[in-house]
A and B are shown apart, each in its own frame.
Chain A
Amino acid sequence: MSEMDPHIELIDRYIRGELSGLELQAFLTKLQSEPAFKAQVEQQEKIAALVYAFGHAQMKQYLRQKTRHRGVFSLSNKTKYYAAASVLLIAFSTAIILWKINPEAGNKMPLTAKGDTLSAEKKEVITMAKEQARGNDNGDTSKNTEVIAQNAENNLPPAIEELNDDEFTASAESPEPIVIASNIQAVAISLNSPVMSQKSMKEETAEMKPARKFKTEAEVAKPTTSRIDDNKYVTENGGTGYKMPETSRTKKQVLRFSFTFLESIEKTPAVEIDKYNDIYFVRCFNIVYGNPLVYEWQNRYFLHSGIKTYELKNLPLQNGQKTPVSAAQEVTDPAILSLIGR
């Protein structure tokens, strides 16, 4: 201790902003009057700065590594369950497609058995998983915190759509509520499957007209397929299908929501919404945070967070449009609550 340079501690205190009053005054005077002391201060400042910068860089690197690791924003257990359910969906939809394309072969397949085991709840989960998978396809991690959902127009006739290889879909047939958004996961939940008995499952699959992958113009020209008319196609497997005209096909609107939950001294639940770059920014005041989801039903929008559901009024908005902060009305209508499964 006796060999210690007494200036080092003093300079450290200066660097850390611990000097004040007369002590600081004396230090500054010494700094100005003694070049050797000034040089020592500068040198010590730089070493301190290096250590500081080193610490900052190390911690930043640590956070980058840890937070960019897939594990941080990877799927939750619930979502993993949905993902697993999506495998079931693919298997089931493939079975339907094959069955429709080749009914004889289909009869040999255990389709009814699958239908039996597919409860309404599972079907819902599968639908969610399908949409979840779509949301995650592009690898955009923002999908985990920002929601994309599909709002199918209601009351349109069943349509067959051109699909990607791994995609299967059918148009919405009834004005049932659809989950539009949550700020946690890119999930869209279709709740149009009240009870899925074996019979109703068969009826539904018959009505839905399973989606098939249509070929491009060039592929259609190949001998294996033939184009019958403008809208009718024969697939490689011998099945036929109709491509709906562009104007009558189901159009899907993508709505993105981003939520901020705030509390104010007024305890009244309220929301303020504005829309920029096609994203709805919803600021929720005094609304309990808990896996928020937005449902659309008959052009009405409902935010469910925690255990309560509120109606979001004045939606949809145009870009740049903003709703004032207004009290959020809690939905108590059991009909609506039952539709969204609460």
Chain B
Amino acid sequence: MTSTILDQIRIMASDLFGVPAERISAASTPETIETWDSIQHLNLVLALEEKFGVQLSPEEIEQMKSIGEVAELVEGKLQGTPN
């Protein structure tokens, strides 16, 4: 399950940031991906909400600091466990 969600988010990030999916890993952050700015961060949130049918709170959105954290957050939501 983990790898699947992470993979989906990597493709999503690849689309939004214009970077090949192979160059995006759980460790990728706005510091390692130049195009990950505030507009793209909002787009990432919207893409996650659209695709996984989840709702992210302002606090959660602030805390998404790496692709790995994004994947964990979404997984937690999909399993219905509080984050």
Chains A and B bind each other: no
